[in-house]
Amino acid sequence: MVNILLVDDQPSRLLSYEAVLAELGENLVRAGSGREALARLMEMEFAVILLDVNMPDLDGFETASMIHQHPRHEKTPIIFVTAVHITDLDRLRGYHLGAVDYVFVPVVPEILRSKVSVLCELYRQRRELERLNRSLEKTNADLADANAALQAEKANELHALNQVLERTNRELAGTNATLQAEIAERRRAEERLRDADRRKDEFLATLAHELRNPLAPIRNALQLLRTGSPEVTGGALTVMERQLRQLVRLIDDLLDVARITRGKLEMRKRQIVLRTVLDDAIAAVRPVIDDARQTLEADLEAADVEVDADPERLTQVFANLLNNACKYSPPEARLSISARCEDGRAVVLVRDEGIGIPAPQLEQIFDLFVQADTSLERARGGLGIGLTLVRQLVHMHGGSVAAESAGGGLGSTFTVQLPLSAARPIGDTRSGEAIPAAQSSAMPSARRRVMVIDDNRDAADSLSMALRLSSHEVRVVYDPLKAREACALFRPEIVFMDVGMPGMNGYDLVRLLRGEPWAERALIIALTGWGQETDRQRSREAGFDHHLVKPADFEEIEMLCNAERREGGGVASGVAHG
């Protein structure tokens, strides 16, 4: 039900309107004047207003104007009721004021009813539309809210997803970088392997060359010896000795490198005076320096300091460096070795004015088998292991070694740094370090009964010949199984015995011989290619008095022949074991 406002100053007309409109079943509200109408409008909303034009006080037009000024009612349709015939101008005015229609008195009930009914219906529809609008707006707002929530949720999800993606990306980048690094490392490793392989091939070629090199002069010298001519004998022997020394050195170096690589090199460190080592190294290379008519300046005042070292190994270090200085310098060049102390370290410099070392190779030359010049025209021999040995030995002494050179042709300097000994200073070590060879030469030479047991006939014969030349009485046995009997007959004072022999090895044989009465005071000496401390130990345990590594120095052999004899199972004094 909607509200209909009936405005007329005549109650009878109001009554008639009510009668006409009652049928519509709407709520009819009366107002007797314009003012009362305005009052009603303040109270409620109307679907349509039936407004009398001619009223005292406020007439219909004025009332309509005031009604439509109010925002709530500006759209409320007004039907003007007028008794008199009005002009078109007035009618227009009415339309301007918001009138939607006119009815004339006397009112035709059906017309009034249908007009009001239409407007009521319109009002209802408008209301419905408004309601729908509102609900639509609400739905819209709800939708907007839902949308916003969805957007927010989506944004959150997106953000989270983004973060996950970023993290994954970062992880991927990390993995990628690691992979790249691994690939690079692998490439470098492959490169190193290829390099090592190439160097190994070069080394094998060089080794074959270096081993074959001394053989030619030895064979030539042999040829000369065979002529029996006394003029050439001396020279031939010198050649053979020199070449042999060269071969032995080569093989020693090789064995040392192999031992160091397998971590098997034994160091016998003790507190020594550095200078003794430097003097020994100089003495060792003196012959080659003299051969090349080079001069060596030594400034070793500062080397009278103690270091903890294996003297033999440290001598090897400086002999190698001096040997290189000599080898890589022209004849008559000046070489130098000098020492100084700084910051608790001894610093030894070996200088030459030779071919020098190109800068890119300064580091590499310490690597195994690396040689700065690998061309076929290379004038100097060598295997590229000397400096590897130097570096490893120096490291084993807690020191460091470095090479410097101003470049090709400008000479080289090798600097070795060694920590000084922290222990209490020692006295004059040199007087304490007896050199067995020196002792032996002072000893009177005696004629001994010497037995040589070796299945290698050349080795046995050459040794026995040398011993005979030294006026010893010598017997040779090639077959170890016949040794016991031969010894029982000959009763040797000294026995030189090979260890690796077919039929019976030296260890078993010496055990067997030790049970014989003649052997009680005899010196039995092992002659073998094995020189490790474990080998020496094994010899001692088997019953050998000494252990000589082939090729044994003849001076050492001679010294043992001159040593005092065994005293009831003990080792003769004055002779270093091995």
Binding region for ligand ADP (CB under 6 A) out of 22-30, 237-245, 368-376, 504-512 = 368-376
Gyration radius from the chain CA atoms? 62
In the list 26, 352, 493, 558, the residue contacting ligand ADP (rule: CB under 6 A) is 352
CA distances, 398 to each of 179, 304, 313, 346, 394 (Å)? 37, 19, 13, 12, 7
Closest to ligand ADP by CB, 147 or 261: 261
Per-residue binding string, ligand ADP, 393-432, x by CB under 6 A, is -------------------x--------------------
**Is the Cβ–Cβ distance between 268 and 310 less than 8 Å?**
yes
Distance CA 363, CA 185 (A): 20
In the list 277, 383, 394, 523, the residue contacting ligand ADP (rule: CB under 6 A) is 383
* Backbone CA torsion sign across 131, 133, 135, 137: negative
Binding region for ligand ADP (CB under 6 A) out of 291-299, 354-362, 418-426, 533-541 = 354-362
Closest to ligand ADP by CB, 339 or 368: 368
Q: In whole angstroms, how close is the CB of 312 to ligand ADP at the nearest point?
A: 18
Closest to ligand ADP by CB, 364 or 532: 364
In the list 98, 386, 399, 492, the residue contacting ligand ADP (rule: CB under 6 A) is 386
Distance CA 347, CA 79 (A): 126
Binding region for ligand ADP (CB under 6 A) out of 97-105, 355-363, 524-532, 535-543 = 355-363
- Helices and strands, counts by H and E, the chain: 16, 17
Distance CA 464, CA 554 (A): 11
**382 lies in the site for ligand ADP, by CB under 6 A:** yes
Distance CA 461, CA 557 (A): 15
Say how many C-beta atoms besides its own lie within 10 A of residue 102's C-beta.
Answer: 17
Per-residue binding string, ligand ADP, 244-283, x by CB under 6 A, is ----------------------------------------
In the list 47, 272, 387, 453, the residue contacting ligand ADP (rule: CB under 6 A) is 387
Distance CA 452, CA 527 (A): 10
Number of shown-chain residues binding ligand ADP (CB under 6 A): 21
Token pair 């690094």 is at which residue? 181
Binding region for ligand ADP (CB under 6 A) out of 31-39, 349-357, 420-428, 466-474 = 349-357
Least Cα distance to 394 among 329, 340, 327, 347 occurs for: 347
**328 lies in the site for ligand ADP, by CB under 6 A:** yes
**325 lies in the site for ligand ADP, by CB under 6 A:** yes
Say how many C-beta atoms besides its own lie within 10 A of residue 390's C-beta.
Answer: 22
| Angle in degrees, CA 552, 397, 528, rounded to 5 | 20
Least Cα distance to 347 among 385, 378, 314, 302 occurs for: 302
Binding region for ligand ADP (CB under 6 A) out of 76-84, 123-131, 132-140, 371-379 = 371-379
Token pair 């002779």 is at which residue? 575
**Is the Cβ–Cβ distance between 200 and 369 less than 8 Å?**
yes
In the list 357, 394, 450, 487, the residue contacting ligand ADP (rule: CB under 6 A) is 357
Distance CA 101, CA 87 (A): 14
Assess whether the previous peptide bond of 77 is cis (omega < 30° from 0): no
Binding region for ligand ADP (CB under 6 A) out of 162-170, 295-303, 379-387, 558-566 = 379-387
Closest to ligand ADP by CB, 63 or 412: 412
**Is the Cβ–Cβ distance between 355 and 379 less than 8 Å?**
no
Q: In whole angstroms, how close is the CB of 384 to ligand ADP at the nearest point?
A: 4
**392 lies in the site for ligand ADP, by CB under 6 A:** no
Closest to ligand ADP by CB, 2 or 207: 207
Return the residues of window 109-138 that contact ligand ADP according to CB under 6 A.
Answer: none
In the list 34, 94, 354, 399, the residue contacting ligand ADP (rule: CB under 6 A) is 354
Least Cα distance to 477 among 469, 489, 547 occurs for: 489
In the list 34, 98, 384, 492, the residue contacting ligand ADP (rule: CB under 6 A) is 384
Task: List residues near ligand ADP by CB under 6 A.
Answer: 324-325, 328, 352, 354-357, 365, 370-373, 382-388, 412
